A and B are shown apart, each in its own frame.
Chain A
Amino acid sequence: DQQVKQNSPSLSVQEGRISILNCDYTNSMFDYFLWYKKYPAEGPTFLISISSIKDKNEDGRFTVFLNKSAKHLSLHIVPSQPGDSAVYFCAARGNSGNTPLVFGKGTRLSVIA
């Protein structure tokens, strides 16, 4: 059973427009959420995170929104740039001690110039 779901395997967006990547989770014990970006032949790199006590966190062009009641989070990238083309992974962690990060399957974002 997949506890973190990214239902869109791919997404194409025009340069300058908004990219919205979605993530759903099933485990109500998750209380910390992260987004990672991965380029080919590189390891994932941390992008932005949000704690369950917040519903929004912003860092430059990247904003993560959390809707706890819907068990849903989204990553907004505005404006999208060609360099944002990568695979984006949503990850979540529980609140009981040092639990491992659980990742979704990823969404491949293509930003078209």
Chain B
Amino acid sequence: KAGVTQTPRYLIKTRGQQVTLSCSPISGHRSVSWYQQTPGQGLQFLFEYFSETQRNKGNFPGRFSGRQFSNSRSEMNVSTLELGDSALYLCASSLGTQNTGELFFGEGSRLTVL
């Protein structure tokens, strides 16, 4: 069973640009969550999508957005990039139907903003 796949793995952008990251969940998983990991801040929750609807949202500015497609694949977009957006962006999938379900993470997309 294939795991969570994130693309691209690494990317470099400059301030003011925008970026789109992609995530393909484990087959059969309907929930996709996005987290930002920065040094010293741990994993901070961005948002969660379930059956193409945003179900939960973290405390990030509106420059951060996402969507989910009918095949459960998800994308997140960051517009008007700032230096502080440099981070590892992690996608995680789950069945999404049980509160005790674990999340399965991808390897992440490392974004560097210059």
A residues contacting B by CB (< 8 A) are 6, 9, 32, 34, 36, 41-46, 49, 51, 89, 91, 93, 95, 97-106
- Interface size range of chain B in the complex: 20 to 34
Interface presence of B21 (CB below 8 A): no
How would residues 77 to 105 of chain B score, 1 for a CB under 8 Å from any chain A CB and 0 otherwise?
00000000000001010001101101111
- State the Cβ distance, B57 to closest chain A Cβ, in Å: 9
Query: Which of A9, A45, A95, A102 is B105 in contact with, Cβ under 8 Å?
Result: A45
A44, B99: Cβ atoms closer than 8 Å: no
B42, A89: Cβ atoms closer than 8 Å: yes
- In Å, the complex CA distance between A6 and B58 comes to 20
The 24 sampled A-B contact pairs (Cβ below 8 Å) are A32-B99, A32-B100, A34-B102, A43-B4, A43-B105, A44-B105, A45-B105, A46-B103, A89-B42, A89-B43, A93-B99, A98-B50, A98-B55, A98-B56, A98-B96, A98-B99, A99-B99, A100-B33, A101-B33, A101-B103, A103-B35, A103-B42, A103-B45, A104-B42
Interface presence of B107 (CB below 8 A): yes
B102, A49: Cβ atoms closer than 8 Å: yes
